[in-house]
Amino acid sequence: MELEIHGRVNPATRILLLIIILASPSLFLLGDCSPAIQGCNSVESRLVPGLSRARPRVFSIADFGGVSDGITLNTKAFQKAIDHIGSFGKLGGATLYIPRGKWLTGCFNLTSHMTLFLEQDATILASEDPQDWPVVDPLPSYGRGRELPGKRYTSLLHGLRITDVAITGNNGTIDGQGLIWWNRFRSKTLQHTRGSLVEFMFSSNILVHNVTLINSPFWTLHPVYTSDVMIKGVTILAPHKAPNTDGVDPDSSSNVCIRDTYISNGDDAVAVKSGWDEYGLAFNRPSHDVFLVNLTVSGSHGISLGSEMSGGIYNVHAYGVSISGAVQGIHIKTSAGRGAYIRNASFASFEILDTGVAFSFTGIYGDHPDAGYNASAFATIENISFRDVVGMRVNRAGDFRGVPQSPFRHTCFTDVALELNGKSNHWNCSYIEGYSRHVSPPPCPELQLESECWS
């Protein structure tokens, strides 16, 4: 038997993993049969051909008056270039080439059938002046800005109702210069919710590949109401104390693959979402078929489903993920008022190191947009499985805080081995039911039924 382990697994962890495999070898022949890998392959096959080949026309930002001194504001040059590219949509589109240098800009809109190509040592540098960040309506599935009532700042790069778009290059950088926004958040001087670094709304066929995204004011990469998204070979960085700098947040989106990506940031590395309380319930657009493959995550809140999940979340599959220095490894979070469901999620071939809690579920997360939510709207959380997970220097194995109105159902752990820092209180369980096999340390009684689990 030849074993393929995805992710960056250190030698000590490999030894521990091999011990588990020898105890039950038939359970680990996942490889390319993993639903996460199969899902990513399916997403890639669905992307339109223009994303995988050179566009017939290439224009440089310098052709439109752009200046790469890091001082001159290039917002008009970017928008002029993109407007020009928009005229080639029926001819296969065009590429906007960003040469090396620092290209300071305010927010600008992308267009369909375009490639934004960042050369090595090229940086799109966000303006630090809030006047260069337009204010726009809140997302309909949120009803208000995520941080404050009312509107929100738009993202630095924004795509609305566009298709066939690639952001790629030779590992160039998009820098949100988020420090001023983080300080305004901490000092409570924000007038509106901070903007994301890159956001796609009501869009399709999106590729983000081989670029570095750093210092986002708020969520870094936010596909919302969007389908067929491939995020591959991306690096996402922000200081570990930078507030709410989520890495990738698929939000009411479908057929999303995130693979071969490194994320070190100040909040969730990946957070699958679908709207907030009564607004998300009314909008009723779930996130589904989201796939994570070969991710390395450092110093964040790990992989999350929720907390805004009122449109529903289903079919989320992750394989080959290394998480270190996180508060939680895998976090499922909801609250009374959310309603909807999180179901059919699997996490396989995970490494969790130097982390507070390996597995964390909460049904009492709180945090509502306003007083209009229905306190009797409880979420259904069911069919969540964990397989082939190893952990070292973890403080607690599991922390499950359910509610009696809607306990966590059909939670499954198979072949899990965790080395814990403490000697007691390994699992905290309330209102959860499920199954386990080959789990160390042994889980709480609510999870000790033996049964075959779904993949």
Q: What is the biggest distance separating any 2 CA atoms in the chain, rounded to whole angstroms?
A: 67
Strands (E), 44-170: 58-60, 94-98, 101-105, 108-109, 114-118, 122-126, 135-136, 152-153, 157-160, 163-169
**Residue among 384, 415, 349 nearest 272 (CA):** 384
Residues in the chain: 455
**Looking up tokens 């590949």, which residue turns up?**
209
| 147 CB-near residues (< 8 Å, 6+ apart) | 185, 190, 193, 194, 218, 244
CA distance 23 to 324: 26
CA–chain centroid gap for 30, Å, is 23
**Residue among 424, 444, 428 nearest 436 (CA):** 444
**Residue among 237, 142, 238 nearest 192 (CA):** 142
List the structure tokens of 34: 């993993």
| 140 CB-near residues (< 8 Å, 6+ apart) | 279, 283
Tell me which residues are annotated as active site.
301
CA distance 336 to 364: 7
